Amino acid sequence: MKFTKSSGQTATGPADWFTGTVYIDGVRNPDEQSSVACAHVRFTPGARTAWHHHPKGQTLYVTDGVGLVATRDGVQEIRPGDVVYIEPGEEHWHGATPERFMAHIAIQEADDSGQVVTWLQHVTDAEYGVR
């Protein structure tokens, strides 16, 4: 068993990856023992990720609030207890609704080169507003 004490460090999501204010508490990064990465991510109203995809897919577990998750095919509302699985390579974004906070646990696996995500362009206001 490996035990890691909490560092107590909450990071602000970088502007290259997010629109709006987002807070990230890392749970684990891939290492020699496991290729799994996990974070607790909190989105303020209107905040969202940029378009992105994961080489081995991603699982989101919504813990609080009301949010949105979208693929190139459309947008879905998400609420506490919802679990979303995004297929490997599927372009998507996720975030809070315009009027509510949203938090989720994001779980993804690194590929053989250590890559867990490829970031793309920001979600436009028009793409975000389509509901």
Domain enclosing residue 115, as ranges: 11-129
> Using CA atoms, how far apart are residues 116 and 127, in angstroms rounded to an integer?
24
The percent of residues above 70 in pLDDT, for the chain, comes to 98
In a domain, 64, yes or no: yes
Instruction: For the chain, give the mean pLDDT.
Output: 94
In a domain, 3, yes or no: no
Tell which phi-psi region holds residue 75, choosing left (phi > 0), alpha (psi between -120 and 50) or beta.
beta
Per the structure, how many domains does the chain have?
Answer: 1
pTM as predicted: 0.92
Please check the confidence at residue 5 and state whether its pLDDT lies above 90. no
Instruction: Indicate which CATH number applies to the domain containing 83.
Output: 2.60.120.10
pLDDT, one tens digit per residue, over 96-129 is: 999 999 999 999 999 999 999 999 999 999 999 8
In a domain, 1, yes or no: no
In a domain, 5, yes or no: no
What pLDDT band is residue 130 in, cutting at 50, 70 and 90? Answer: low
pLDDT of residue 6: 74
